[in-house]
Structure 1
Amino acid sequence: MTVKECYEQINGDYEGVFGRFRGDERIKKFAVKFLADGSFDSLCKTLEAADYSEAFRAAHTLKGVSQNLGFTGLYMASETLTEMLRSHPEDYVPSMLDELKAEYEKTYAAVEKLKAE
């Protein structure tokens, strides 16, 4: 899988990230680092523990990482949860994590395929 194919698979912003990173090798280098980022796991654990302050931090980190890497779908899903946790954490219900989890899993799988190439 090429870097461009990876971004097409996840509806990512390949052109934007290419403009910032100036080449597929650099994009791949940083995209693969996403696989080691623990913010999604931290988000899940802190939400389960109802620690909304830490959940907000984890969601905000995931939002920033996904935006910087051009992972548009993951960015949008994490932005929604981040803003809800920022302003109304008491309104959180577990089903709100479903869309984010689906985007995360899709993105993670695509980046794993990219890494294997």
Structure 2
Amino acid sequence: MNIKGCYEAFGGDYDDVLARLSKEERVEKYIIRFLDDQSFVQLKAALAEGNTELAFRAAHTLKGVAQNLSLTPIYEMDFELTETLRNYNSVDMDLAKAQFEKTQEAYNKVIEAIKAYKES
């Protein structure tokens, strides 16, 4: 699998990320680094603890990383979650948890594709 095939596997926008980063080598470098990004782990932990302020910060960070790397499925799902958490003093936790589940599904799909690319 090549890097473009990886993006196709998870529904990302390869042409967009290539235009942003200019070189395929940079795309490869940063997509592999995404495997070590802790924002999703922090988001999951913060929601489990009910810490909506920390959850908002983690969701916002994840959204930015996903947008910059054109990880479209994560960005689209996490955008909604970030907006739900934005006013972290009055969050509908049932809605946030439902949105998190969608974000987690997208995240897992992207991670699986990146790992398959890395191992190929």
Gaps of 5+ in 1: none
Q: Given residue 51 of structure 1, which amino acid in structure 2 is its aligned partner?
A: N
What secondary structure, in the 3-state scheme, does the structure 1 residue paired with 2:46 have?
A: helix
Listed as ranges, the matches of 1:11-30 within 5 Å are 11-30=11-30
Q: Answer yes or no: is 1:70 the counterpart of 2:73.
A: no
- The structural deviation recorded for 1:40 is 0.6
RMSD: 1.2
Q: Given residue 90 of structure 1, which amino acid in structure 2 is its aligned partner?
A: V
Consecutive aligned runs of 4 or more in structure 1 exceeding 4 Å deviation: none
**CA distance, structure 2, for counterparts of residue 17 and residue 53 of structure 1:** 30
Gaps of 5+ in 2: none
Matched-pair identity in %? 39
2:91 is matched with 90
Q: Answer yes or no: is 1:56 the counterpart of 2:59.
A: no
What secondary structure, in the 3-state scheme, does the structure 1 residue paired with 2:78 have?
A: helix
Count of residue pairs the alignment pairs up: 117
TM-score w.r.t. structure 1 length? 0.94
1:26-51 CA-to-partner distances (Å, cap 9, x unmatched) read 10100000000011111011001110
Which of 97, 108, 114 lines up with 1:111 in the alignment? 114
* Larger RCO (CA within 8 A; separation ≥ 6): 1
1:31 is matched with 31
User: Which segment is superposed worse, 41-50 or 89-98?
Assistant: 89-98
Q: Answer yes or no: is 1:42 the counterpart of 2:42.
A: yes
